[in-house]
């Protein structure tokens, strides 16, 4: 009897234990763990994303640069698709049956029950024809989304483009983006993605077991409304941006113009360019593939990514440092016999011109190489030959204060640093203690291993215009209804040069335009201070370079123009810069001996040849020394590897200009 009662208690205990475990599991499923709730909810609730309009982008005067227009994605839920006229369906969408089958297979693999994109970016016209017969195609429905359109078709590299989020972008976003979402890939579209994209909305709808919609979920209590992205006001002036792109058509190079008093970028031309409208719509993929294959690389953002020797445009900066360090004064006279003797090296002026006795302003005006070789020599030898590396690094640190050799921090991705080599670089090339000022003498006139981006060149001019400081260049001046500028763009960056030393240099720069190497580009009624540059490129025709600011008093614009492999600075870059300056300051172009249409219609595109063979071992050399290499192919490859500069060959046809032939004396 006792054993019976004992067994009863054991059995009861087992049942009670099972009940407690079951109750505990139910509590965990219903209260603690929400996975099963989500599974159930996903079976009956479908989320439809409402895409917001991206924020428009305007120029500094409120003119629209990029806006939105509606396009339509045709979505499909495979489980709801029933037999229909496939041929007619394909005809309406402009696809073939093979394409239809491929898309359906992809949709089924994604999910038989969930919606996925079947055909993307139908224009309003295409969708109108499809919409009339939408009821004939069960399982398909439209999803409207805004797409970019570019009324002016300019400033492509500045604006950038949008594209579908890649797996890497989705991962970096922490799940914010999903497959099929569009994000900024390059340019301002990428830099200001968080501001432009807006906030997506969601519509929740109930579905039954057959995935048929049963209306809004919870009467829309959990729905959210899409919020459009913020409007951006750029610093660009479309009038000079459009003019700059016309002037640089069929040429390789760049134009950058900056407002010295704010650091706002007024003009940002990269040539060759492309029509940004090519990268929207159904043909986007084909157009992008063609642009990527273009040998002139239109996606390459030359204002911030291309590296160029500054050439003689570097001489004003060189003079400022020399005066600050006390090795020359504005009255220092150099007697130029047509060359400069540096140690056992004799370095010629450009084409051996004899300038005679010149002071600082005259040396700038006539671009006397010897004068600036002399100033550089004194700087590097001031502590004796055994401390060349110490003196060189001190000179380098002074140059770096102007923004060379580092990123300026412009609000656009992929900015380059240029190249401002350290003494350790020359120690590796020539061994420590095995080089002197004569080895690197070409740096004094902006040649050798010294390389800068067009943005850096324009920023140097803004610094000279401001007599010793610059604001970080930037492209966006307003967000939404407020004129908002990032705090770092309002800080003055001083370069360590006393204001008193700028006037002698500016005197020389004014003389460059008034009666010096750029006299053919003088603008009536405007005092422009500039400097031509004929920058040597090994194995190719020289780059035409011109930098300037105007007017002299209270400067409104600083500019740098580079036209690759086109000859002297006065021939191409200076006239192009003068047209931009005149247009910006006066709103018009006057007749003054040079016709802008000549430069607009001229074709200087190089005749590209097949790529040179890859050379594994490269030996860097000083610009003014003979290269220690086997052939010209090695030299060309060296420049490509060391400077990361896009290479191109000489124009097949020799070009002339409307300006009378003259020497730059550089």
Per-residue DSSP letters for 88-133? HHHHHHT--HHHHHHHHHHHHHH-SSS-EEEEEEE-HHHHHHHHTT
Question: What residues contact 522, with CB distance under 8 A and at least 6 apart?
Answer: 513, 514, 528, 578, 592
Average pLDDT rounded to a whole number, residues 494-501: 96
Q: What confidence tier does 652 reach under pLDDT thresholds 50, 70, 90?
A: very low
H or E element: which one contains 146? Answer: strand 140-149
Average pLDDT rounded to a whole number, residues 42-69: 85
Low-confidence winner among 257-271, 282-296, 416-430, 619-633 (lowest mean pLDDT): 619-633
pLDDT at 211 over 60: no
Range from 2-6, 273-277, 659-663 that averages highest in pLDDT: 273-277
Average pLDDT rounded to a whole number, residues 415-437: 95
Sequence-separated contacts (24+) of 240-243 with Cβ below 8 Å: 240/266, 240/267, 240/580, 240/583, 240/584, 241/59, 241/154, 241/155, 241/267, 241/268, 241/269, 242/152, 242/154, 243/579, 243/580, 243/583, 243/596
User: What whole-number distance in Å separates Cα of residue 268 and Cα of residue 254?
Assistant: 8
At residue 51, the pLDDT reads 84
Average pLDDT rounded to a whole number, residues 622-633: 40
Q: What confidence tier does 625 reach under pLDDT thresholds 50, 70, 90?
A: very low
At residue 226, the pLDDT reads 86
CA dihedral (313, 318, 324, 325) in degrees, to 10, reads: 180
Q: Give pLDDT tens digits for 309-337.
A: 999 999 999 999 999 999 999 999 999 99
Per the DSSP assignment, residues forming a β-bridge with 559 are 257, 548
H or E element: which one contains 19? Answer: helix 2-27
Answer with the residue of higher pLDDT: 372 or 176. 372
Q: How far is CA 76 from CA 139, 142, 285, 539, in A?
A: 6, 9, 22, 58
Average pLDDT rounded to a whole number, residues 449-474: 97
User: What whole-number distance in Å separates Cα of residue 546 and Cα of residue 45?
Assistant: 64
Low-confidence winner among 17-26, 29-38, 362-371, 614-623 (lowest mean pLDDT): 614-623
The packing angle between helices 388-400 and 423-430, to 10°, is 140
Q: Where are the alpha helices (DSSP H) in 515-625?
A: 573-586, 596-601
Residue 48 CA, chain-centre distance (Å), reads: 35
Low-confidence winner among 16-30, 116-130, 161-175 (lowest mean pLDDT): 16-30
pLDDT at 501 over 90: yes
Range from 254-263, 341-350, 585-594 that averages highest in pLDDT: 254-263
| Letter string b/e over residues 600-623, b meaning 16 or more CB atoms within 10 A of that residue's CB | bebebbbeeeeebeebeeeebbbb
H or E element: which one contains 214? Answer: strand 213-216
Percent residues over pLDDT 70 in the chain? 86
pTM of the model: 0.82
Q: What confidence tier does 40 reach under pLDDT thresholds 50, 70, 90?
A: low
Domains, the chain, ordered by start: 46-234 (3.90.1310.10), 238-276+283-388+405-643 (3.40.710.10)
35 by Cβ neighbours in 10 Å (0-12 / 13-18 / 19+) ranks as: exposed
At residue 628, the pLDDT reads 38
pLDDT at 518 over 90: yes
Nearest in space to 129 (alpha carbons), one of 145, 118, 142: 142
Average pLDDT rounded to a whole number, residues 554-575: 96
Answer with the residue of higher pLDDT: 155 or 612. 155
User: What whole-number distance in Å separates Cα of residue 562 and Cα of residue 308?
Assistant: 8
Average pLDDT rounded to a whole number, residues 355-361: 92
Nearest in space to 576 (alpha carbons), one of 464, 506, 657, 456: 657
Percent residues over pLDDT 90 in the chain? 58
At residue 624, the pLDDT reads 41
Average pLDDT rounded to a whole number, residues 78-93: 90
User: What whole-number distance in Å separates Cα of residue 422 and Cα of residue 413?
Assistant: 26
The DSSP letter of residue 152 is S
At residue 644, the pLDDT reads 41
Average pLDDT rounded to a whole number, residues 395-423: 96
Residues 81/139, Cβ–Cβ less than 8 Å: yes
Average pLDDT rounded to a whole number, residues 183-191: 94
What's 322-387 look like in SS3? HHHCCCCCCCCCEEECCEEEECCEEEECHHHCCCEEECHHHHHHHCCHHHHHHHHHHHHHCCCHHH
pLDDT at 636 over 70: no
User: What whole-number distance in Å separates Cα of residue 532 and Cα of residue 664?
Assistant: 7
Q: Give pLDDT tens digits for 368-378.
A: 999 999 999 99
At residue 34, the pLDDT reads 56
Low-confidence winner among 52-61, 128-137, 230-239, 638-647 (lowest mean pLDDT): 638-647
376 by Cβ neighbours in 10 Å (0-12 / 13-18 / 19+) ranks as: buried
Q: What confidence tier does 456 reach under pLDDT thresholds 50, 70, 90?
A: very high
User: What whole-number distance in Å separates Cα of residue 663 and Cα of residue 352?
Assistant: 11
Question: What residues contact 242, with CB distance under 8 A and at least 6 apart?
Answer: 152, 154
């Amino acid at each position: 009897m006792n054993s019976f009662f004992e067994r009863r208690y054991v059995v009861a205990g087992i049942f009670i234990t099972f009940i407690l475990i079951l109750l505990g599991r139910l509590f965990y499923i219903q209260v603690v763990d929400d996975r099963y709730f989500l599974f159930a909810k996903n079976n009956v609730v479908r989320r439809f994303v409402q895409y917001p309009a991206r924020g428009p982008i305007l120029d500094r005067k409120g003119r629209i640069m990029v806006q939105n227009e509606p396009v339509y994605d045709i979505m499909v839920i495979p489980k709801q698709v029933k037999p229909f006229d496939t041929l007619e369906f394909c005809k309406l969408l402009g696809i073939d049956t093979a394409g239809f089958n491929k898309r359906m297979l992809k949709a089924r693999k994604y999910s038989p029950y969930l919606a996925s994109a079947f055909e993307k970016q139908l224009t309003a016209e295409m969708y109108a024809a499809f919409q009339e017969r939408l009821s004939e195609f069960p399982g398909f429905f439209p999803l409207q989304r805004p797409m970019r359109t570019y009324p002016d078709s300019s400033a492509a590299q500045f604006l950038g483009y949008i594209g579908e989020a890649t797996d890497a972008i989705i991962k970096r976003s922490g799940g914010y983006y999903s497959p099929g979402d569009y994000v900024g890939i390059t340019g301002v579209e990428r830099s200001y993605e968080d501001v432009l994209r807006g906030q997506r909305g969601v519509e929740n709808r109930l579905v039954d077991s057959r995935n048929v919609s049963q209306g809004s979920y919870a009467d829309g209590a959990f729905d959210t409304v899409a919020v459009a992205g913020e409007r951006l006001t750029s610093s660009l002036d479309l009038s000079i941006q459009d003019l700059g792109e016309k002037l640089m058509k069929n040429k390789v190079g760049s134009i950058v113009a900056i407002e010295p008093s704010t650091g706002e970028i007024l003009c940002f031309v990269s040539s060759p360019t492309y029509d940004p409208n090519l990268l929207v719509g159904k043909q986007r993929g084909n157009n992008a593939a063609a642009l990527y294959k273009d040998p002139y690389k239109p996606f390459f953002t030359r204002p911030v990514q291309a590296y160029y020797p500054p050439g003689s445009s570097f001489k004003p900066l060189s003079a400022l440092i020399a005066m600050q360090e006390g090795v020359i004064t504005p009255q220092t006279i150099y007697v130029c016999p047509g060359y400069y003797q540096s140690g056992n090296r004799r370095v010629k002026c450009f084409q051996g011109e004899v300038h005679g006795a010149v002071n600082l302003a005259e040396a700038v005006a006539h671009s006397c190489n010897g004068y600036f070789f002399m100033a550089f020599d004194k700087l590097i030898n001031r502590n004796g030959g055994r401390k060349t590396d110490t003196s060189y690094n001190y000179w380098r640190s002074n140059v770096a204060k102007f923004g060379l050799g580092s990123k300026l921090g412009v609000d656009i991705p992929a900015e380059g640093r240029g190249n401002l080599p350290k003494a350790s670089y020359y120690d590796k090339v020539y061994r420590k203690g095995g080089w002197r000022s004569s080895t690197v003498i070409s740096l004094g006139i902006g040649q050798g291993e010294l390389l800068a981006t067009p943005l850096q060149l324009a920023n140097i001019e803004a610094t000279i215009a401001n007599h010793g400081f610059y604001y970080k260049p930037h492209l966006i001046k307003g967000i939404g209804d407020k004129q908002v500028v990032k705090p770092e763009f309002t800080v003055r960056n001083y370069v360590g040069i006393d204001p008193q030393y700028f006037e002698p240099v500016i005197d020389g720069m004014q003389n460059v335009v008034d009666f010096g190497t750029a006299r053919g580009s003088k603008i009536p009624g405007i005092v422009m201070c500039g400097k031509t540059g004929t920058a040597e490129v090994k194995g190719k025709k020289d780059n035409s370079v011109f930098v300037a600011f105007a007017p002299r008093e209270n400067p409104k614009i600083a500019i740098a123009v580079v036209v690759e492999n086109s000859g002297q600075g006065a021939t191409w870059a200076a006239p192009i810069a003068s047209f931009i300056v005149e247009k910006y300051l006066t709103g018009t172009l006057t007749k003054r001996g040079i016709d802008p249409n000549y430069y607009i219609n001229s074709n200087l595109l190089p005749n590209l040849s097949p790529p040179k063979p890859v050379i594994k071992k490269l030996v860097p050399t000083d610009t003014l020394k003979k290269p220690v290499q086997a052939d010209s192919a090695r030299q060309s490859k060296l420049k490509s590897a060391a400077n990361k500069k896009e290479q191109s060959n000489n124009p097949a046809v020799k070009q002339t200009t409307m300006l009378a032939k003259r020497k730059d004396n550089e």
